[in-house]
Structures are given as structure tokens and as C-alpha cells.
Structure 1
Amino acid sequence: MTDSYLVVAKRWARGWELHVDGVGVTQVATLSKADATAREYIALALDLDDETSFAVDIVPQLDDELAKQVEVARAQVREAERRQREAAAKQREVAKQLERSGLSGREIAAVLGLTPQRVSQLIGRSSRA
């Protein structure tokens, strides 16, 4: 099982303090570098050879209201991605039904508002004229 380390990132005047659960604290100038810095710190502190042999979960510490907004935004993105997958599956299903009903690839494209190339991808063959 891969070890996992929780890293709480706390904002301060010169960047971020990275509090690594059970290991210690290090600092980084920008949050975008937190993962790499935390991995390097953990590997050095624990005398590990491979900085990719463990998981790191960076959790920025935010005020309660911002933290709620971040979680809502992330949940909405996850929901949109789920709906996108469902829509793509439905589009594939309908394209295949249209093909079985005798429509050409170009006709299917016109009906669904897609390019013939996309229809070809959906039905899994070259679209016919």
C-alpha cells in the first residue's frame, strides 16, 4: 500500500508554510510548487529514495466561507463532468440508432449538429456520404 501524507498549506507573508502530518514543516513561495516541495521535504526527512513512491494531499487552509465556495465549485465541476459523460454516451447511442434506421453519416451529422468526423467516431466507422 502506498503511503499518503496530508499537507496543510498555511498562507503567510512570504508564501506558504507546508505542515506535513507526522513529518514537520517546510515553506514554499507559491502554492503551485507545494506538491514538488512537499515531496522533496518528505523524501529527505524520511530518507526515501523515490519522491513518487508516496501520495501527497495538499490542502490549502482557507477561511470557512472561501473553503465552502471552493468545495461548491469543485462539486459543480464534478457534476458537470458526470453529465458530460452521460451526454456523450447518449449521443453515441442516438447516432447508432440513426445509423440503424438508415441515415448516412452526413445525415446523422446534420441531425445531431455534429461534424461527419465526429459521427464517424461515435458510430465507430468511416461515415458514408
Structure 2
Amino acid sequence: MIAGVTWLVAFQLVGELIVRVADLPIPGSVMGMLLLFCFLRARRYGDGGSIVRAGSALLRHLQLFFVPAGVGVVAYLGVLGRDWLPITVAMLGSWALGLVVVGWTAVALERLLGRPRDDLAPESS
């Protein structure tokens, strides 16, 4: 377990280092996850490995990671109450934009790969 957590933290730190040195506009933790994904795919890492066990243990307690976000909401209740309209419009607008982009991407990939969607495929009896 300790070895798995050490690997996870190491990939996060490497991601942070790469982002800061290269001055990239993405979070270092996202870069670290990308590097970890590439590492796991390249090594064909099994389900019994220390990294997977540590990640599974962290996922079992995922709800604890929402505590800082909840504290932030409570700390900024005044700002949220004062600027509720622009915040709501931004949240709904970004949700709708994301939904449209995902839909367009899915349709484009279906056309590119030449695979029909399941609901449009002819029924075979």
C-alpha cells in the first residue's frame, strides 16, 4: 500500500514539475495522471499491483475529497449569494457547451470510424 501511494505521489510530483518547467496551462496533477496512465498502459500493469491497490483504497474513501470543496463553498457563501446570477449562468452555459461538444465529438467519431450507433443498426431476427 505504501509503495502504491508513493508511486501515485511521485507521478503527481513529476507532473507538477513538468508543468512548471514547461509553463503549461494545465494542472500538474492532470499531467501526472496522464503520465501514470501511459506508464500503466506501457507496462500492462495487473489488477494486483501496488498502484492499483492504492488507487482502489483511495477510491473507497472518495467522499472525503469533497470536504475541502464543501468548506470552500461555505467560506464563500457571501460571494455566492451576491453573485448568484452570473455563477448560475456560467455553470449552466458550461454544462450545455460541454454536452454539445461531447455529442458532436461522438457523432464525428462514429462517422470517422464508420460504425453505426446501436439504436440505428438494423434489427436482425
Q: TM-score, normalised by structure 1?
A: 0.30
Q: Which has the higher contact order (CA 8 A, sep 6+)?
A: 2
Higher strand proportion, which one? Answer: 1
Q: TM-score, normalised by structure 2?
A: 0.31
Q: Which structure has the larger Rg?
A: 1
Higher helix proportion, which one? Answer: 2
